[in-house]
A and B are shown apart, each in its own frame.
Chain A
């Protein structure tokens, strides 16, 4: 007897919560590494969303898409960390508020 899978709505609730947590992390955290981690959280929230709909609709496209996002997220993390290292070398800090040269 296959245990009844949680409903799609539950997945969406989880996904939405995770995304909101990530978004708030991106907005309010000052440490750049934490911001990067919050972005990862948002990406995975999206992955959950995609996989949930993939299961719901019986299509593999969503899962393929999720795997692509995981791959791209790895590259994104690498680039992001590289930027952070360069910033640290330049400013000796990774506080986001310190990097505001684009101030108009």
Chain B
């Protein structure tokens, strides 16, 4: 039985860490913090949270129904409630375990950086929000986490806030995500309007009980939700922010922009699987967008020379794979790939971070090479993760990718074909990365020669997220000061390589939970069986896990392995056997338009600048013009209409009528007094005379005029 207090503690512990470190960072922003205290709170809270998560999953294991607990009534009709079911358990474990490992790694990676405490504040805040996202029992709580992780993503991409490219990348991520979030929030409104509730339990029970009745609404809801997923999970056309997000520190790229946050969209789609199953249209849109993103990003990844850019496009591509899976109805495969991807992509990113760290901040793979000797532990772990992502059995990536491809084959052969080609390209560019980085000889010293040998590329790869190399990059030079000028790369500390080793082990073993039947597993696989309670029966018909014939499945598996092997061989031929890379250079020269398009990422950023950004600016300018001339004109016209007749009229009235009356009274008083003052002669005898005359007068009146 799950303990609700422990459940909420999983969420609140990272929040506590963020609060403590946030206060410490805020109160004395410029002072050096005691890093032991920072570590204690940052790692202590996330570690404890991970332990409690394990305990919670352990105590939930085997339960019949989902566990839900409402903590308080938040908005009428919406509770602040948390939910534990197989899906949230899976995500909970990924987030807490991978998150904790990356926290450990970050203590090593960030050791020389300024803003250490601020970094861990954001990281803990992210953990808090991400846990809220995956544990929430209704769409509204999920949305709070959804926005929270978006905020943390923004803060961490812009971590080097004094660098323009980092601040710009943060803004780009935030704004592009706004577009998606707008769709998501509309979807939530529509869900509430249709079902009268946002609780997963109620909504899915209603939708599953009356599939026909809700099919129409489900299409609209699913498309809106998928807009949100596109933003958060970097799908076409909203993927542009993720490659730029690499401006953040590498642990952030690993945690947020590879392992956890960007998979939130996949989680949301899988969570809403009942609705997506009601709407084949929406599911097809998801599958097509996923497949297109997968191959689109993979081709870009082939031509990038920045180690983090390659991984970024790889992440976009793999996320496309997950949506492809969700779109073709293989929801368990999507989550399975989320999990395996979290292991090997976190390992790859952290390995890349270790390489960057060891090479004194270099991110250009053309200036690496031969790191196998100087960074053996990083080399081995990254090799394992590269094999895993390439889809070589029996590593984790093979099983999840194979499950997706099998489901895609059943859905439509074209989707499968795109998936297989993407797998081949993935294998190629990942091994290209591996060979360029780790084999051959170290090229850090002969940078100039290589760049001049490819003059047409020079400049294209000076991608602005190469934070360590930027001019005037003072604190970063200081950060890696002890080896900026030293050309010998060195191995990273144990806190980093240890984490790499753990993730490499997970990347090897993580796939066996989804061992398919033909390789000695069960049908459905153990992972599918575990997630089965989430896939509610539609109108009484239980969810069917696809099962192709053994021969088909063997064939598909063989093809995907062969394609992966082909990609690896090609990379080996291009970048390992020939240390001069003559062949790829020749191809690039032969098809220079294609090469340029790939290196410039199909000019998508430029197209967006020319259309969306320029359009927005044009609209803003038009609105400004409208405001100046029309709105202000109307206001001024009103002023003229009112001020002149009314203002001036009342002024005249005031001047001549009101003032005239007042002055008239004063003037008449003055005139009267001017007349009467003459009586006041100052000669007392005059007064006496008047008095005497008065008495005489009174006497005369009294004596002679008195009526008898």
Contacts and interface: CB of A to CB of B under 8 A. Distances in A.
B685 A96 contact: yes
Interface stretch (B81-89, B339-347, B675-683): B675-683
A27 interface: yes
Nearest to B689: A27
B466 to A, nearest CB: 99
Interface string A80-102: 00000000000000001101111
B27 interface: no
Nearest to A101: B682
B679 to A, nearest CB: 7
B680 A102 contact: yes
Nearest to B690: A27
Interface of B is mostly: helix
A99 B687 CA distance: 14
A26 B677 CA distance: 23
B183 to A, nearest CB: 92
A104 B676 CA distance: 9
Contacts of B692: 23, 27
A104 B683 contact: no
A103 interface: yes
B682 A96 contact: no
B683 A97 contact: yes
Interface residues of B, number: 12
A100 B688 contact: no
Contact of A100 (B677, B678, B679, B683): B683
B685 A103 contact: no
Contacts of B682: 99-104
A34 to B, nearest CB: 12
Contact of B679 (A28, A96, A101, A104): A104
Contacts of A23: 688, 692
Interface string A1-29: 00000000000000000000001001110
A86 B206 CA distance: 117
A103 B680 CA distance: 6
A104 B687 CA distance: 13
Interface string B665-708: 00000000000011111111100110010000000000000000
Contacts of A96: 683-685
A101 to B, nearest CB: 6
Nearest to B686: A27
Interface in B427-475: none
A21 B513 CA distance: 145
Contacts of B678: 104
Interface residues of A, number: 13
Contacts, number: 32
A77 B11 CA distance: 110
A28 B679 CA distance: 18
Contacts of B688: 23, 26-27
Nearest to B673: A104
A100 B681 contact: yes
Contacts of B684: 96, 99
Contacts of A35: 685
A26 B685 CA distance: 7
A23 B687 CA distance: 12
B685 A27 contact: yes
Among A27, A99, A101, the one with the most B-chain Cβ atoms within 10 Å of its Cβ is A27
Contacts of A101: 682
A97 B685 CA distance: 9
Contact of B681 (A26, A27, A28, A104): A104
B680 A104 contact: yes
Contacts of A28: 685
Nearest to A103: B682
Nearest to B693: A27
Contacts of B680: 102-104
Contacts of B681: 100, 103-104
Interface in B358-375: none
A100 B687 CA distance: 12
B265 to A, nearest CB: 99
Contacts of A102: 680, 682
A47 to B, nearest CB: 19
Among B677, B680, B682, the one with the most A-chain Cβ atoms within 10 Å of its Cβ is B682
A74 B124 CA distance: 110
A20 B259 CA distance: 129
A102 B682 CA distance: 4
Interface string B114-147: 0000000000000000000000000000000000
Interface in A32-48: 35
Interface string B571-611: 00000000000000000000000000000000000000000
A58 B684 CA distance: 39
Contacts of B689: 27
Nearest to B684: A96
Interface string B177-206: 000000000000000000000000000000
A101 B684 CA distance: 10
A57 B217 CA distance: 124
3 closest cross-chain pairs (CB), A and B: A104-B680, A103-B682, A100-B682
Interface of B: 677-685, 688-689, 692
Given A23-B688, A23-B692, 5 more contacts: A96-B684, A97-B683, A100-B683, A102-B680, A103-B682
28 contacts: A23-B688, A26-B685, A26-B688, A27-B685, A27-B688, A27-B689, A28-B685, A35-B685, A96-B683, A96-B684, A96-B685, A97-B683, A99-B682, A100-B681, A100-B682, A100-B683, A101-B682, A102-B680, A102-B682, A103-B680, A103-B681, A103-B682, A103-B683, A104-B677, A104-B678, A104-B680, A104-B681, A104-B682
Interface of A: 23, 26-28, 35, 96-97, 99-104
